Chains A and B, each alone.
Chain A
Amino acid sequence: MVDYGEILNIPPYSMQREEKHSFLTDILKELSLFHYDNCPEYKRVIDGLGVKLSDITSFCDIPFLPVRLFKEYDLRSVGGENITKTMTSSGTTGQQVSRIYLDKETSANQTKALTKIVGSYIGSTRLPMIILDTSAVVKDRKMFSARGAGILGFQMFGRDKIYALDEAMKLDIEGLSAFLEKHSGEKILLFGFTFMIWQHFYEELKKSGYRPDLSNGILIHGGGWKKLADKKVSQEEFKCLLNEVCGIQQVYDYYGMVEQTGTIYMECECGHLHASIFSDVIVRRPHDFSVCGYGEKGLVEVVSILPASYPGHALLTEDEGVILGEDDCPCGRKGKYFSILGRIKNAEIRGCSDTYADKFR
């Protein structure tokens, strides 16, 4: 099997196009063959498509599964006795949720990859951390929602953490100001989901008049823009308005999904989402699934080298996006950089932030 120990030590944004292409092709092909031998449903899909995996010469030719498949089927490539954690996608009431089965190794690799990616942005020193959510999300320890998994994954970067919202999702101003006093002058890490931050942090601060000093803060947020786009809040405005209420200057969005936990796509200083060497994004034309050129809008496929316990290494999402370029972002990171434009019409509502926001309609 793939030697993740070595691979996860490679700096996450260090490979140019050709090197990365052959690196990903080797690993993803190996993973495809492994899932073919160990997941009967995956084998049926591949056989049904008439694809011969051993003939594949580019990871772009590996058949992708639609993410919805994980809602309808229990897909895994290891025995049930080896499953240590089951993750579920966020879904609104009545929607079916995806179930992702993790064994010990896959789960550990997800954490490692996340650490490498985020660490390259914020450094290896752990920071006092404010989680802009409620601790209630991580209560059930065997079954993690995507929201809980995100929070737990990011906790690794924090020390002395505080949840800014109580169980009723009300902003704990007293707790927050005590925490900030204790860590005054220090760099602070903030993490949360985009809509929750908007609804329960930004709106509350605006209403209350309390203006915490977070000018030393680094905010990492994700989970979908759809709801804020509906409110006509752009990414720029989001950053600007947050800055007005708490002085925060460093704000990074990320794109990721529970089906490929760990290999998230972080926004850089130039506002572009970046693919690390552990994963990649392919944008496809909806009518024939051929690969789009740079700047051409299409359907987003994500590939990740981490899914070993379940066949989720090549997935077609229901998001629309556009590859902006490769290896030449002014921020200096190698690899593709891209934007997510939204969800395709008639897609289900997903995303930690958006499903939650659905309650506020």
Chain B
Amino acid sequence: MTNLEIYNNAFKEAFEVDEAQLAGLEYQGIAAWDSVGHMNLIALLEDAFDIMMDTDDIIDLSSYEKGKEIMAKYEKNI
């Protein structure tokens, strides 16, 4: 799997959304991406990429696009 596929799968699994809904997706933009959903997403990303994110990055991950920038900090280029 490519990094993009791993990244997308985490979102799809966390929020039960389709590939087509990912672009532009934002925190609080859909019911499933609330604070509980957010921590689920973080857990899925951390497991899939085998990384541990800083609390600041967890807070900053406010959109699908922003998350890609943050993953780059952990050497996961998407």
Q: How many residues of A contact B (CB 8 A)?
A: 20
Distance of A157 Cα from B39 Cα, bound (Å): 11
Most buried by A among B36, B43, B52: B36
Q: How many residues of B contact A (CB 8 A)?
A: 17
- B interface, over-half SS: helix
Distance of A124 Cα from B57 Cα, bound (Å): 11
Say whether B5 faces chain A, with CB atoms less than 8 Å apart. no
Given contacts A84-B28, A126-B52, whether A156 and B36 have CB atoms under 8 Å apart is: no
Contact, CB under 8 Å: B59 / A141:
no
CB B46 to nearest CB in A, in angstroms, measures: 7
Given contacts A84-B28, A104-B28, A159-B46, whether A152 and B36 have CB atoms under 8 Å apart is: yes
When distances are taken between beta carbons in the complex, the residues of chain B under 8 Å from A85 are: 34-35
Say whether A185 faces chain B, with CB atoms less than 8 Å apart. no
Say whether B50 faces chain A, with CB atoms less than 8 Å apart. no
Contact, CB under 8 Å: B55 / A141:
no
Given contacts A124-B56, A126-B55, A159-B46, whether A138 and B34 have CB atoms under 8 Å apart is: no
Instruction: Across the A-B interface, give the 8 residue pairs with the lowest CB-CB distance, nearest first.
Output: A84-B28, A104-B28, A115-B55, A141-B36, A152-B35, A156-B55, A155-B39, A141-B34
| Known contacts A111-B35, A124-B55, A138-B36, then 19 further A-B pairs from the complex at CB < 8 Å, ordered by chain A residue | A84-B28, A104-B27, A104-B28, A107-B28, A108-B62, A112-B59, A115-B55, A124-B54, A125-B52, A126-B52, A126-B55, A152-B36, A152-B39, A155-B39, A156-B55, A156-B58, A156-B59, A159-B46, A159-B52
